[in-house]
Chains A and B, each alone.
Chain A
Amino acid sequence: MVRLLLDPFGDAYMRRALVEILVLSGLAGVVSVYVLLRRLAFVGDALTHTIFPGIAIAFVVGQSLFVGALLAGLASAVLLTVATRIRRIDHDAALGVLVGAFFSLGVVVVSTQSSYTSDLTALLFGRILTVDTAEIIETTAIAVAVLIVLTLVHKEVVLRSFDPIAAEAMGYRVFLLDLLVNAVVALVVVAGVRAVGTVLVIALLVVPGAIARLVSERIGPMLVASVAAAGLCGYLGLVASYEASLNHGVRLGSGSTVVVALTIAFILTGGAAALLRRRGAGTAAPGSAVP
């Protein structure tokens, strides 16, 4: 058993993949809790699409795809924040318009090229097994920046999430707080694209926080649980895809296996939580951890 869990990491590329997924888990695990509190799952989903034209343009002009994604991610975070404040238009509709505009721009740019398929497949589903050290450093830099920002504005973001009217009445610039959180989500999307792809990064942004909410009613413990769930599933997903590919002849994509692990963890936690609730009905004991 121990061999099964440790053997895969004898190779350098697997060790790099592990480091990348663990850094990403720490980042996405934390941000996922804020995504849950602010109900930003759909914004996260929108951002996975709106970074596409940035990547497509960077690809066509031969620049860094990472920088392309970063610029498109931040630009769309600004537009998303503005769009969701238009009173006459429903949030969902505003996001839909933006996603359509950005994504079609990406498709138009890409359709001018003939040799894009393999790179763009990697974009959609990730290629965590080929990350290099420079890319790990980029992910780590994003993670550190995001964690510092969230630590600094934690109480304001929680207030705005819980009670936007009070936040505004107390004089907080809700628009700026929203912009900050949307930019943070965009950064996680950009950082996660390489590992698990645009399609699956949304799972990293949503599932760990949802698991954490099943486990705890307090934000502090939720952050811990979310990071732990993301890290554990990242690790187990890598092990499973390695084992299946090498010893059982089944080619499992690493990024997607991580997401499958997250989904299984969510279902198991949900089942366990439902069982506990049924058994402990009446004696519900809220967690005793310090807020």
Chain B
Amino acid sequence: MATSAEPEALPPLLAVEGMSVGYGRQLALEDVSLHVGPGEAVALIGPNGAGKSTLLKAILGLLPLTDGRVKVLGRRPVDAREHVGYVQQADTLDPEFPVSVVQVVLMGRYRAVGWFRRPGAADRRQAMEALAEVGLADRARDRFGTLSGGQRQRVLLARAIAQRAQLLLLDEPFNGLDATTSDILIEVLARLRADGVGVVMSTHDLAVAHLTCGEACVLNRRRVAYGPIGEAITPGTLAEAYGSRAVLLASGATVVTTNG
């Protein structure tokens, strides 16, 4: 259903082949391959330092590869950024910054608006629709920093919606969120996938991963397992990725690490 509108010959949204990324001499990621087609979603699972954020940044073209290649929409990552939405953790942003909620969402329209021009009525309408989808239309005029952590995360998601990206990258979007926000995130991701958007999401939360993604890539600097989520996430692959500290609770629960 997701691909009904797509012609057959289109390249995959994301193709990562044998990618290695290093900081200095140390390889942060080694020989990782990954494919995302329209409407597909991949959960990146792994401990802190496993290279999940590194992988997302490499897909954005923000880090040089030491080996392998990345193609986004068949192009180099830097040439496809306009079509890639990136949702980081909202708590990295300054809550005192004098910017309103709707202004943050409008930032998603900037590339489409272009240099030297201001967002127009159509951009504002799209921003408001995106805000309505994440349940924050009534907070549009409030300052971004006055919202709760979960609400701020929803604003960043709305920004990615307003961008109308074809590939959405999310870096730990569910960390420490309230139930309302988690529900909305899950709903929105399902809607976007139905519309053909590809998703790559790093998370520690296996329940959320099962609810939002069809596939999983278990990472610990290298690819431990990759495939349909039910097959990729097993006690064995998790133990391999997280080490002996990992405990897999009964089906679909979360990874508990005893030691950071």
CB pair B118 A222 closer than 8 Å = no
Q: Indicate if B98 sits at the interface (CB-CB under 8 A).
A: yes
Q: Shortest CB–CB separation between residue A195 and chain B, in angstroms?
A: 28
CB pair B97 A162 closer than 8 Å = yes
Q: Indicate if A90 sits at the interface (CB-CB under 8 A).
A: no
Q: Indicate if A25 sits at the interface (CB-CB under 8 A).
A: no
CB pair B88 A219 closer than 8 Å = no
The count of A-to-B residue pairs whose CB atoms sit within 8 angstroms is 66
> What residues on B are CB-neighbors of A291 within 8 Å?
100, 102-103
> What residues on B are CB-neighbors of A37 within 8 Å?
97-98
Q: Shortest CB–CB separation between residue A31 and chain B, in angstroms?
A: 16
CB pair B111 A170 closer than 8 Å = yes
Main SS of the interface on chain B?
A: mixed
- What is the CA–CA distance of A186 and B163 in the complex, to the nearest angstrom? 34
Name the contact of B88 in the complex, choosing from A165, A213, A222 (C-beta under 8 A). Answer: A165
> What residues on A are CB-neighbors of B142 within 8 Å?
286
CB pair B143 A217 closer than 8 Å = yes
The B-contacting residues of A in range 152-187, CB under 8 angstroms, are 152-153, 155-156, 158-159, 161-163, 165-166, 168-171
- Chain B interface extent, by class: 20 to 34
> What residues on B are CB-neighbors of A263 within 8 Å?
none
Name the contact of A171 in the complex, choosing from B88, B93, B111 (C-beta under 8 A). Answer: B111
> What residues on A are CB-neighbors of B115 within 8 Å?
152-153, 156
CB pair A163 B100 closer than 8 Å = no
Name the contact of B98 in the complex, choosing from A156, A159, A168, A218 (C-beta under 8 A). Answer: A218
Q: Indicate if B27 sits at the interface (CB-CB under 8 A).
A: no
CB pair B116 A159 closer than 8 Å = no
- What is the CA–CA distance of A244 and B82 in the complex, to the nearest angstrom? 60
CB pair B99 A155 closer than 8 Å = no
Q: Shortest CB–CB separation between residue B147 and chain A, in angstroms?
A: 12
20 contacts between A and B (CB under 8 A): A153-B115, A153-B116, A156-B110, A158-B99, A159-B107, A159-B110, A161-B97, A162-B99, A163-B107, A165-B92, A166-B88, A166-B107, A169-B81, A170-B81, A170-B110, A171-B78, A213-B98, A218-B98, A291-B102, A291-B103
The interface of chain B, by Cβ under 8 A from chain A, is 60, 62, 78, 81-82, 84, 86, 88, 92-94, 97-100, 102-104, 107, 110-111, 113, 115-116, 118-119, 141-143, 146, 159, 163
The interface of chain A, by Cβ under 8 A from chain B, is 37, 152-153, 155-156, 158-159, 161-163, 165-166, 168-171, 213, 216-219, 222, 286, 291
